[in-house]
Structure 1
Amino acid sequence: MTGSSRQFSRSGIIIALVLVCCMWAACKNSNSTSKPDVQLAMEQVVSQYMMKNNIPGAIVGVWVPGEKTWTHTQGTADLTTGRKIKPEDKIRIASITKTFTATVILQLVDEGALNLEDTLDKWVPEIPRGSEISYSEKITIRHLCNHTAGIYSFTENKEVHDILITDPLKKWTLEEVMKYTLELDIKGNKVPCYFEPGDTYENGNPKIHYSDTAYELLGMIIEQVTGNKIGDEIQNRILDKLELKNTSFPYGPEMTGNYSRGYVQKQEGGALEDFTETDPSAPWAGGAMISNLYDLKVWAKALAEGSLLSEATQQQRLTWVDWPQLPLEGMNGAYGLGITCMGRLVGHSGTILGYNSAMFHLPSRNATIVVLLNKGNPGAGDACAVNICYLLAKILFNWFPEHC
């Protein structure tokens, strides 16, 4: 959910890459790697990350048309009952929600109801609580979608973090979210914006600061334009059209049907605590949704191909801004309009208390990788799912992805 949740662990990546490269060298013949050896290498990556990060359960899917379909589950869905995790189990998908929110925004652009260059003050003239975000007359919908608005994220506020941990069932209002955006950061400084919208670095690249608040504002814009709840718009425009029957935008803390419980380890060496029931009102348009492996497989492909958008608008979505906060050797990251580029892989990842997820599609091979984990910790060390995706792509295609 937070910007830090997209940070990669260098030590974890290096350890895993050594393992992968050793196995690759051992398995490789003159032309290719046999399917059993590829599967073993992928299982080893998942096991290594689970063991290193004390993750109870993992659900992984790999689909390479004409070559491989691999669904792998490992570990436990419920530490109390001991129930094993299943491929169909649902989890909270956190910031993957942003891909749905941005898609609705872009559909409204296609319909002429919005323009990517519309400014925030046009659609949200009165920010909740009567305050104004700095540069609201300059922040555009495009800036909000690709995190170039410079807006401080409410999830960076220490008080918010503490409340989410101690009172996960708290029902948040948008007024409260904006309060923590407009008032103080964790150091007590008043920082409503980090930089002017669209500002650039010395090399000319746009500045980027990942902000959950930006997507709260996009949710408000959707509701202002349509007159409907954002969850209803996502349901009607995306979930129903793609028949994503195991995906939902909840308004309460309950999970229904087949789902894995979610766990948090508050301190290193500490016990895992159950955080399955958390209220979605804080993450909301930037992180509230629930889904499962099979629905995300469908969605990752539709997102990458733009099947619900016009060709021109999809091209806008895939206009990348360099994301230097992804410190992974041999690869650069980038962000589009509600979509991440990790080399040639496009998709998104997400972390929320209790869960960690990633889904990526490789258009050149029509391949999809989805990783779901039932442990999500705030702060560093919570990007295991996206790391696993990267390493599985390395095994499958024997490349380190270049720039988007």
Structure 2
Amino acid sequence: MKGSSRRAKRAAAAAGRRRGVLAAALAVVAVAGLTVTAVASEERSRPAQDRTLQAGLEALVKDGTVPGALMSVRDRNGRVTNYTAGVADIRTKSKVPTDGYVRIASTTKMFTAVAVLQLAGEGKLSLDDAVEKHLPGVVRGTGDGAAIDGRNITIRQLLNHTSGMTREMPLMPEGILPIRDRYFEARELLDAALTQAPTFAPGQERVWKYSNGGYVLLGLVAQKVAGRPLAEVITNQIINRAGLEETYYPGPGDREIRAPHPRGYLFAKDDKGNPVPGRLIDITRFDPSIAGAAGQMIATPSDVNKFLVALQEGKLIKPAQLAEMRQTVDSPGFPEGWRYGLGTIEMKLSCGITAYGHGGDADGFQSRAAITPDGRAVTIAVTNDEAGVPEVLAFFDKALCAQK
């Protein structure tokens, strides 16, 4: 695997550097009698700022409901610093791997959106095309979803969640545990979504409602227009083009996460569905096909930042498509100052800066990623998607605003 090969090379190089640093330090000791301190990181930290961010990350895991946290920060000069806190495994108490793999969940939507925008930039589709043009006869609601019709839904509306498609995921009514080993085809996910009542009826003033089903449909549009499976389109046109060696779209039947990775957890529930304090269930291994084009991908935090940089620097889509991507709409229910674009979120930060990115909540993993106009990128992930959400958001804002 490319990612594994890169990690092996990186580890070997780091080991060589550490040996060199230690040898130099020993030479100094021989002359001056100084105490030896081994350098344990590839990057040299800026002590004051790094201590602040490290302390904030450790605060997220202090009470144990979030077992582990990891973060990668790329400053505007391209310098990367990685952070970890807590434990990777509550049973063994092993350390969280630096820049380990995590499920990035709905951050996948940025990749799906870029695939669609690339096709638009190539003139193979228009964002204002009706879905019907590319998938004739496919999008017809049934039952409670009878009002859904692909002739009344555009690709742009799917991208910015104004299509009226449901937010519900009807194939997991009891959560992930009963279906953790089940594989789902994209068409199966779409057909289930088409049975659900739309947010609004055709002709009604359009409003905003987040929809995983809408992104599953976008994935089908992209692969129909491209003439190749979505996973292949994303791999060839985005992952490989941006040099993302630690990002991948899991294939059929792939329930694992590449090593190294922390384990993901969710709360045990009582008979009424309420969390049981102090009891966590390991949900690291499950089939992510239930999320498909809306949330199936896996990556390391530093690779997500590389993607954000490549996107902002015009390496993945043309300036016209990036401008379209960042045209936003009101997004009721999102944090104050956040608006949704085409597969990206505009985030007004507490320091007055605007960042663009996305977040994702897969069972066991909660992540947030964004980049500021001057190129500072932050991706944070924690290993429980049901705990500490406000605290993670507040710290994420703080990390993006730390410009010193």
TM-score (norm 1): 0.78
Output the CA distance in 2 between the equivalents of 1:306 and 1:384: 33
Output the CA distance in 2 between the equivalents of 1:181 and 1:384: 32
Is contact 1:172-1:282 (8 Å) kept? Answer: yes
Secondary structure of 1:235's match? helix
What amino acid sits opposite 2:65 in the alignment?
N
Q: Shift in Å at residue 57 of structure 1? A: 1.0
Q: Shift in Å at residue 130 of structure 1? A: 8.1
Q: 1:198 to 1:278 in 2, by over 3 A?
A: farther
Picking from 367, 370, 376, the partner of 2:379 is 370
Relative contact order (C-alpha < 8 Å, sep 6+): which is higher? Answer: 1
Cα deviation digits, residues 221-261 of structure 1 (max 9, x gap): 11211221111001100111111111100022122232222
1:165-184 to structure 2, matched below 5 A, reads 165-184=177-196
Cα deviation digits, residues 332-367 of structure 1 (max 9, x gap): 11111111111101111101001111111001x321
The corresponding residue for 2:290 is 282
The corresponding residue for 1:195 is 200
What amino acid sits opposite 1:263 in the alignment?
Y
The corresponding residue for 1:97 is 108
Output the CA distance in 2 between the equivalents of 1:55 and 1:339: 26
The corresponding residue for 2:249 is 249
Q: Shift in Å at residue 178 of structure 1? A: 3.1
Q: 1:100 to 1:62 in 2, by over 3 A?
A: same
User: Does structure 1 residue 356 correspond to structure 2 residue 361?
Assistant: no
Is contact 1:218-1:285 (8 Å) kept? Answer: yes
Unaligned runs of 5+ in 2: 1-44, 269-274, 349-353
Q: Shift in Å at residue 126 of structure 1? A: 3.4
Taking only aligned residues, the RMSD between alpha carbons, in angstroms, comes to 2.6
User: Does structure 1 residue 143 correspond to structure 2 residue 154?
Assistant: no
Picking from 34, 53, 60, the partner of 1:42 is 53
Is contact 2:305-2:379 (8 Å) kept? Answer: yes
Cα deviation digits, residues 186-231 of structure 1 (max 9, x gap): xxxxx1x11246964xxxxx62100000100001111211221111
Is contact 2:132-2:139 (8 Å) kept? Answer: no
Secondary structure of 1:241's match? coil
Is contact 2:283-2:364 (8 Å) kept? Answer: yes
1:218-237 to structure 2, matched below 5 A, reads 218-237=218-237
Output the CA distance in 2 between the equivalents of 1:326 and 1:91: 23
Secondary structure of 2:312's match? helix
Is contact 1:216-1:286 (8 Å) kept? Answer: yes
Output the CA distance in 1 between the equivalents of 2:191 and 2:343: 24
Is contact 1:160-1:180 (8 Å) kept? Answer: no
1:3-402 to structure 2, matched below 5 A, reads 36-51=47-62, 54-66=65-77, 69-127=80-138, 131=142, 134-155=148-169, 157=170, 160-184=172-196, 191=197, 193-196=198-201, 200=205, 207-251=207-251, 252-266=254-268, 267-328=275-336, 332-343=337-348, 344-363=354-373, 365-377=374-386, 382=389, 385-394=392-401, 396-397=402-403
In the alignment of these two chains, the number of paired residues is 344
Is contact 1:351-1:383 (8 Å) kept? Answer: no
Output the CA distance in 2 between the equivalents of 1:354 and 1:163: 12
* Deviates further, 316-325 or 339-348: 316-325
TM-score (norm 2): 0.78
What amino acid sits opposite 1:59 in the alignment?
L
* Structure having the higher Rg: 2
Secondary structure of 1:334's match? strand
Secondary structure of 2:150's match? coil
Q: 1:66 to 1:97 in 2, by over 3 A?
A: closer
Q: 1:62 to 1:207 in 2, by over 3 A?
A: same
Q: Shift in Å at residue 35 of structure 1? A: 5.2
Output the CA distance in 2 between the equivalents of 1:66 and 1:233: 31
